[in-house]
Amino acid sequence: MSSTTAGGGRGRFITFEGGEGGGKSTQIRHLAAFLMQNGHASLTTREPGGSPTGEKIRGLLLDPDANLDAMTQLMLFCAARRDHVVQLIRPALAGGQWVLCDRFADSTRAYQGAAGHIDAGLVRTLERAAIGETVPDLTIILDIPPETGLARANRRRGENSAADAFEASDLAFHRRVRDGYLAIAAAEPDRCVMVDANQEEGAVADAITKLCAHRFSLRMPPRS
Ligand code: T5A
């Protein structure tokens, strides 16, 4: 978690979503810098995790040896999310910070719901219990073919460390994750915007900068 302290006004909640290796962490760094140029303090956080208890639950969820079924994962993700929302996200928004979150409730819809075959109604019921009214103002879905995203994630991890419990899932699972995100974007076009993540890092950053400038009436950086 990292935080900047300049700026003021009402906080906004922006989540980054998508399959493995889409570049969420990379793009959050670019957006935080752009927001700072506009005088907005931002808090960067992630799921699973974000709060001290959430980070402990993260350890359980990503352990490749834990062999958790999708229902157990669902409950743990929602418990971790509830703590994260209560302990960190709501206080930051109330204090005027912009919160940039690497994954949030849509990950559960896509991974445990669409890919893990858990009933969508149950997923949504637990989502409401976990987040209440704390719904993102904007969700940026970084769309990338799973083969490309997994290759990026593998390269970053290197050959000597093991894939986590989700990276190790088969390609069919990751295709269902992508389909899940496409369905979310189609169902909630006001909140969710798909961005093509299969392009050079700077091009993705430009697309997100323009999108946020337009959505939140921010000043674009001067052309270099
Ligand atoms: N999960 C999570 C669920 O199943 N349900 C849930 O409810 C939640 C919240 C979390 C796992 O948990 C699952 C989903 C995940 O499998 P994680 O370790 O937090 O796992 O990892 P991810 O969120 O999947 O994120 P990644 O670390 O895989 O990737 P990012 O953040 O999307 O990508 P990033 O920025 O780290 O970039 C990856 C690599 O690609 C390069 C970067 O330099 C880096 O090496 N890169 C690019 N290369 C080429 N072109 C570009 N445009 C690039 N952008 C970045």
- Compute the distance between CA of residue 154 and CA of residue 68 in angstroms, rounded to an integer: 22
Res 7: pLDDT: 46
CA of 25 to the centre of ligand 1 (A): 7
CA-155 nearest atom, ligand 1:
45
How much is the mean pLDDT over the chain?
93
- Can you tell me the distance from the alpha carbon of 91 to that of 55, in angstroms, rounded to the nearest whole number? 18
Q: What is the pLDDT of residues 122-157, one digit of tens each?
A: 999 999 999 999 999 999 999 999 999 999 998 988
Residues 6+ apart with CB under 8 A from 113: 119, 120, 123, 180
Instruction: Average the pLDDT over 209-221 and give the result.
Output: 94
What's the confidence (pLDDT) of residue 5? 45
- State whether the beta carbon of 108 lies less than 6 angstroms from ligand 1: yes
Q: Among 45, 24, 53, which Cα is nearest to 93's?
A: 45
